[in-house]
Amino acid sequence: MVKPQSIFITGSSGFIGKSLQEHMNSTNYCNYSVSPNLINEEFNTDNLNNIDQVIHLFGVFGNDLEQLSKVNVMATHLLMKRIIGKQIKKIIYLSSGAVYGELTHNHISIESDLLNPNTHYGLTKMLAEEIIKAYCEAHNIKYVILRLPNVYGGLQTKGVIFNFLQQIKLNSNVTIEGNGNQKRDFLHISDLLNAIDLALEYSGSSVTLNISSKNNLSINELIKIFKDYYDFDVSYVEKRNNITNLNLNFDRAQQVLGYEPRVNEILFEK
């Protein structure tokens, strides 16, 4: 199997970026270079010389629309402008299932669904997708967009599972927003890294794919798992996140990439 000659990773200082570098170092998969930030003065177009593929991870999560727009949207626009004329063959972008918005009729989101984000985060990820598609189609660059659920494991320093475990260890109490019945897909970092490997090796036409697992749990179900290992209290507060359920169908990723999740239970350091 032909491996890419050289890869450029944006957002290299985040959880996924650090995990990806550790993975590539351990497998000797390819040569790569990194950029932790796309919007500071240190970044220049020379970083993109002699690059075969770009993995675009740089982004933020939250509710601050100004910050989300600056990082998720404008930085993506700047990156794509810098890619033009650099002989880059493919960009892999890690997007989010939040672009779908709220599920209707309890169905599972598929790639052909109408995008209707109901959070600022989902809106900015959708806009970033559209920017990448527009540039790639105009300049004959392939793209692979991977839409993700909650990713967890290893080097994580934030997120639902990490935050709950920190609360348990520090305060013996977990705070849940809403009634805890909201459901999420939970994707282990090892499965995401496998999906990225497959996307790097993929030689077909541009594509958008859901990457997920069979691990769809409510927050209350997640708490029950933690209760098997820890003794703690639970507090419920007013819900702030607009997305109630996130469930991604990954059949297309199975067909196109041969992707298959290997971790279909919650794994965490006990």
Q: For 120-135, how does the pLDDT look when each residue is reduced to its tens digit (9 = 90+)?
A: 999 999 999 999 999 9
Q: Which two tokens stand for residue 132?
A: 């990448």
Cβ distance 154 to 19 under 8 Å? yes
Specify the pLDDT at position 3: 55
> Does residue 103 have a pLDDT over 60?
yes
Look at residue 26 in the predicted model and tell me its pLDDT. Answer: 83
Q: Which of 168, 184, 151 is nearest to 229 (CA)?
A: 168
* Mean pLDDT, range 224-251, rounded to an integer: 88
Q: Any idea which architecture 6-152+186-214+247-257 has in CATH? A: 3-Layer(aba) Sandwich (3.40)
Q: Residue 242: pLDDT above 70?
A: no
Domain boundaries, the chain: 6-152+186-214+247-257
Helices (H), 152-188: 160-171
Q: State residue 1's pLDDT score.
A: 43
Task: Identify the sign of the CA torsion 111, 114, 118, 124.
Answer: positive
Pairing of strands 31-35, 53-56: unpaired
The answer for residues whose C-beta is within 8 angstroms of residue 43's C-beta and 6 or more apart is 35, 37
